[in-house]
Amino acid sequence: MQQELLPLFPLQLVLFPNATLPLHIFEERYKEMIGQAIAAQAEFGVVQAGERGIVNTGCTAVVERVLRRDADGQLDILVVGRRRFEILVLNDEKPFLRGAVDYFDDDEFGPVPPETLRLAIERYQELREIKGDEIAEADLTASQLSFRLAQPIPDLDFRQLLLATRSEAERMKQVADFLSGYVSKERAIAHMREAAPRNGHGKWPGGIEK
CB contact at 8 A, 84 and 171? no
Catalogue all structural domains in the chain, each as residue range(s) with its CATH number. Answer: 6-104 (2.30.130.40), 114-199 (no CATH)
Side chain identity at residue 128, one-letter code: R
DSSP assignments along 106-135, one per residue:
-SB-PPPPHHHHHHHHHHHHHHHHHHGGGS
Look at residue 45 and tell me whether its pLDDT is greater than 70.
yes
Q: How confident is the model at residue 100 (pLDDT cuts 50, 70, 90)?
A: very high
Q: What percent of the chain has pLDDT over 90?
A: 79
The predicted-structure confidence for 115-128, as pLDDT tens digits, reads as follows: 999 999 999 999 99
pTM: 0.88
Look at residue 199 and tell me whether its pLDDT is greater than 60.
no
Q: What does the alpha-carbon distance between residue 19 and residue 148 come to, in Å, rounded to a whole number? A: 8
Q: How confident is the model at residue 192 (pLDDT cuts 50, 70, 90)?
A: confident
Look at residue 201 and tell me whether its pLDDT is greater than 60.
no
3-state DSSP helix/strand/coil % of the chain, to nearest 5: 40, 30, 30
